[in-house]
Every structure is written in C-alpha cells, then in structure tokens.
Structure 1
Amino acid sequence: MRDDHHHNEHRPHHRDHGEGRDGFEKRPRGERGGRGPRVFAPGDLKLLLLALIAEQPCHGYDLIRQIESMFDGAYSPSPGVIYPTLTFLEESELIEGSAHGGKKHYAITEAGRASLTEQAVALDGVRMRIDVSKRSLRGHERPPEIHEAVNNLRHAMHLHDGRWSPEEILRVCDLLNNTAKAIVDGPQASEKSV
C-alpha cells in the first residue's frame, strides 16, 4: 500500500499512509501536505487507549479529544482506527463497554489493569514518543542530515548479528534510550554528558 497523494520524497524509508498503522491521520494543522513524524509503533495505540481508560472511563470520542490534546491539536486520531482498536481491547476483555444513549462507555477490567502493569515500561516509551513528536511539530522539518543519521541507526540495527544476550540487550537499550532522552532534553543535556 503506497501513499501516492502525500509528498514523501524526503521520507523514502517511512511507511506513513493516509492513515498509518499508528492510527493517525497525517494532517498536522498548519503543515503542508500532511507531513508529520510517525507517532506510534504498531501496538502503541492499544496501550495508550488502555492507559487513558484506566485513568478515566469514557466514550470513544473522549479518547480522540484526549489524544488530540496531547499533541496540542497538531494530530487528529482517526475514528476509523480508534474504534476498531477499542473493539479489539473489548474482545480481549481488557476493557468493557456499556451502551449509554447509543454510545459505548468504556471502563478497564481487572485483566486490563494487570496488562497495563506488565507493560509499564512500554507505556513510558509511548509517552516519550508522544513528547518527541509534539516537540518536532513545534519546530521545522527534519533536515536531510538528521534523516541520514536515523537511517544509519536503522541500518545498524538490521546489521546486528542477532545474538541478543541479556548484557547486549541492556547495552543497546541504554544507548538508544539515553540518546532519545538527550534529544528530548535538548543541547544542555548533551553538554552535561561530555
């Protein structure tokens, strides 16, 4: 599936569709052509919805508004992906929906809370990606040098020998997480670590 109507000549390695697997319409307000960073990896949206419902039982449209507000209105979640994701969570018995006036009101189940606890680290990653994306939307397009560096990182991961010992997992995770945090924190963090 290709994105023929979006300008992604500067993003040859991205797989952003009109509605990508992350469930977001690529329509940042005030940005041309709907070009925005990919926000969620597959599965992230399920985890975020579960976390939001755990905080406050709500309707589907409430979740759309909450997620949109996380991005200061720069991203609008697609109902066409939000609602099927809620159906998936409900069928998995992680949430339960009750009809009120023709609209479903969702609440988390005990199984859902247990799943959320197990995925606490992953949820932190989701929230970090949201923060990174929001900051990116406030700035300019990523310059080609940054795209090249990101592609180099992706290539390095593909070239890894695949022997993921516990020590190697920790080493690579620390490298990646520390780099992500330094980027979010800004130049000051890089200067302090030198």
Structure 2
Amino acid sequence: MLRLLETEPMHGYQIVSSIEERTAGAWKPSPGAIYPTLSQLEDEGLITIERENGRKVATLTTTGREYIETALADAPDPFAGFDGGSAERGHLRETLRELHEVTRRVARTGDPEQTAAVDTILGDAIKQVYLLLAGVDRTPPAAADTVTESADPDDEQ
C-alpha cells in the first residue's frame, strides 16, 4: 500500500483496484484487508487519512516517505512479474475455482467414502505441489528393463 500511496493519495477502493490491476487480477484484496491496514499505517504515522468528498483518502506522511526510502529501499517491487504470464495464472485460478467448487459439492452431497477419497486425492496433490516447488523429480519410476526369469524350471529348456 505504501508503494501505491507513493504515487498519489488514494481511498480504499482505489487501492483495491490498483492492486488488482497491477497483479493482473491475481490478487484483489477485500476491504477487510485494506481498511485495518490503513488504520495501522495511520497509527504508525506513515499515512494520514482525511475526508475528501465523502471518502477517506490516505496520503503518505514525511515519515512514510522516509520509511519507503530507508526500510523499503532494497525491497523488491511487490508488483513485479505480473505483466507477463497472466494467462497461465488465470488458467491456474480457474482450475482452483473449479476444484473448490467440486470439493464443496462432495462435502455437501458425497457419502463418507467419497469424502474420504477426495481428502486423500487432495492430500496427495498438496504433496506433489510441494515436491515440485522443492525441485524433486516426481517422474514415476520406469518399468524394469530386465527380463523376469520364469519360475518354472522346465521353461528354461
């Protein structure tokens, strides 16, 4: 939020919209995340909040600007990397939305056996994603290349 307010004073809805726009829709914070944070930043003296045209507008204070220049000087741009690849992220979001929807359906209407099976499937998926992030080879082992000998000694003749 401080990075956004560095460019111009904003009200809460503008902050939500700016974050959504700068993250190519990957994150749209809720008002429940924005307004308490603004209050905290105000309590810390980093911003001031004043009413303008019926809206509470947040503005960086001198202390807030100094904080950005010192404490955040080496911090990476929180919005970097959202300009490319948004189609892939959009596809992943859609996949997660569908997964959430079908999981809720099983939770509402599935029998205990189905619910347990989905729990196992999702647990395995979580493990696989962690292995992927850790760089672990998740390729299933290839079939043995060796020829299995017959258990019947007469077959060897």
| TM-score of the two chains, using structure 1 as the length reference | 0.45
Deviation at 1:152, TM superposition (A): 6.0
Structure 1 runs of 4+ with >4 Å offset: 129-136, 139-146
Equivalenced residues, count: 104
Identify the match of residue 132 of structure 2 among 140, 145, 149.
Answer: 149
The answer to whether residue 75 in structure 2 is matched with residue 122 in structure 1 is: yes
The residue identity in structure 2 corresponding to 1:120 is A
CA distance in 2: counterparts of 1:120 and 1:136, whole angstroms: 30
Q: Structure 1 91/132 Cα, relative in aligned 2: closer, same or farther at 3 Å?
A: farther
Q: Where does residue 94 of structure 1 map in the other structure?
A: 46
The answer to whether residue 32 in structure 2 is matched with residue 80 in structure 1 is: yes
Percent of matched pairs sharing the same residue: 31
The residue identity in structure 1 corresponding to 2:56 is K
| 1:25-40 alignment, distance < 5 Å | none
> Aligned-pair RMSD on alpha carbons?
3.1
Deviation at 1:91, TM superposition (A): 0.7
Q: Specify every segment of 5 or more residues in structure 2 that has no aligned partner in the other structure, as ranges.
A: 97-124, 137-157
Q: Specify every segment of 5 or more residues in structure 1 that has no aligned partner in the other structure, as ranges.
A: 1-48, 154-194
Residue 48 of structure 2 contacts residue 59 of structure 2 at CA under 8 Å; is this kept in 1? yes
Identify the match of residue 59 of structure 2 among 82, 107, 110.
Answer: 107
CA distance in 1: counterparts of 2:131 and 2:56, whole angstroms: 45
Deviation at 1:73, TM superposition (A): 3.1
CA distance in 1: counterparts of 2:59 and 2:82, whole angstroms: 23
Residue 2 of structure 2 contacts residue 68 of structure 2 at CA under 8 Å; is this kept in 1? yes
The residue identity in structure 1 corresponding to 2:54 is G
| TM-score of the two chains, using structure 2 as the length reference | 0.54
